[in-house]
Amino acid sequence: MIEELKSFIAVVDKKSFTKAANNINISQPSVSLHIKILEKYFNTMLIERSNKQRNILITQTGQILYKKAKQVISLLDDTKEELNNYHNSTSGTLKIGASMTIGEFLLPLILGEFIKQFPNVKLEVAIENTHNIYEKFKNYDIDIALTEGTVPVQDYTFKNFYKDTMVIVTPNSFTYDKNIGLKPYLSNQTWIHREEGSGTGEYLNIFLNTEGISPKHFIILGSNYAIKEAVKNNLGVTFISSLVVTAAADNNELKIIPTKTKYNRFFSYLVHEKNLSKIATLFVEKLERFSSMNKY
């Protein structure tokens, strides 16, 4: 239908089938066929032809279609230009979603370097738990999702970019008899837990099940910072990313308890590859460089 509309516009502009054909580089019979297709589609006569005078007259319905056709072609041209810019421009808006640990402790560093390199990019960043970030990604509300928990395997690109270490964290006052072992002491503690849908909460459950620890009580908090502060203030113990607590442990604000087994997890990025803009591609390249510098 687009080519038919272009032929019709050319006929109206040039007031001639022959001139219209020359203008858009197709044959005159093709132009005539395009007009017939439009007249059949819209069920109206668009052009009155006079064989004797060899001129044409645009009908009233033809005038209406001419104006609308010009608008349609103009909109298509604008859309084509916008899509070309989308795939090739280093400016525009990049929408990123990150789960809490990534958003709080890694993303600011990555974004700082990215914006220095591409200052014309506008950022929209959502920082929520893994479940919520995945839902935004699935609904195309964000361009790139950075997650730390398990997400369904679907038709998108999924790749790890950072290995995180999970650690047991307790108040500084926590002690245990190494002859008895750590497990009985941990089972007798209140555990600080993230909400359902959190990647950190998911890995805490995995850790407790793996170690056979049955907590005395749970306290559920909605942020890494709140959990760290709760542990500092003797409300309980937790299992959390070392990114969250290393600085506080170095300052003797809380204690990281060493374990025989090293518990690691991976941070990953998700992209809808078929709809990846130029700036999203550049950000993925930044993530890949970050990954190579922190190779696990």
101 in the same domain as 84: no
- H or E element in which residue 163 lies: strand 157-170
pLDDT at 286: 93
Domain that holds residue 63: 2-88
Same domain, yes or no, for 152 and 280?
yes
Q: What is the pTM of this model?
A: 0.69
* Residue 193 pLDDT greater than 80, yes or no: yes
Phi, psi of 275 (to 5 degrees): -115, 25
Is 278 found in the same domain as 241?
A: no
pLDDT of the residue at 164: 94
Bridge pairing between strands 263-271 and 157-170: antiparallel
Q: Using the 8-state DSSP alphabet, how is residue 255 labeled? A: E
Q: Which of 237, 260, 235, 255 is nearest to 245 (CA)?
A: 255
Which of 62, 88, 114 is a domain's end point?
A: 88
What is each CA distance from 265 to 108, 129, 158, 170, 194, in whole angstroms? 20, 16, 15, 20, 16
Q: What local confidence, expressed as pLDDT, does residue 167 receive?
A: 95
What does the pLDDT read at residue 54?
Answer: 66
Tell which of 38, 65, 88 closes a domain. 88
pLDDT (0 to 100) of residue 51: 64
- CATH number at 279 reads 3.40.190.10
- Segment 266-281, tens digit of pLDDT: 999 999 877 778 889 8
pLDDT of residue 53 exceeding 60, the answer is no
Q: What domain count does the chain have?
A: 3
Specify the range with the lowest mean pLDDT, choosing from 15-19, 46-50, 135-139.
46-50
One domain for residues 284 and 140: yes
172 and 213 fall within a common domain: yes
What are the pLDDT digits (tens) for 194-227?
A: 988 898 889 999 899 988 898 889 999 989 999 9
Closest CA to 240 of 170, 173, 295: 170
Which residue type occupies 218? F
Q: Give the model's pLDDT for residue 25.
A: 87
Is 262:238 a contact under the CB 8 Å cutoff?
A: no
Same domain, 271 and 128: yes
Same domain, 120 and 38: no
Q: Is 154 found in the same domain as 105?
A: yes
Q: What is the CATH number of the domain that holds 64?
A: 1.10.10.10
Return d(Cα 156, Cα 263) in angstroms, integer: 27
| Residue 293 confidence (pLDDT) | 84
For the segment 171-188, the average pLDDT, to the nearest whole number, is: 87
Confidence of residue 296 (pLDDT cuts 50, 70, 90): low
Say yes or no: 272 and 261 in one domain.
Answer: no
Give 160's contacts (C-beta < 8 A, 6+ positions apart).
266, 267, 268, 291
Q: How far apart are CA 54 and CA 45, in angstroms?
A: 18
Phi-psi region of 199 (alpha: psi -120 to 50; beta: other; left: phi over 0): alpha
Secondary element (H or E) of residue 235: none
For 280, half-sphere exposure in the C-beta direction (CA atoms, 13 angstrom radius) is 24
Give the pLDDT mean for 121-138.
Answer: 93
pLDDT value at residue 266: 93
Contacts of 58 (CB under 8 A, 6+ apart): 12, 46, 47, 48, 66
Domain match, 116 and 174 both: no
66 beta partners: none
pLDDT tens per residue across span 75-125? 888 787 777 766 666 778 899 999 999 999 999 999 999 999 999 899 999
121 shares a domain with 169: no
Same domain, 18 and 130: no
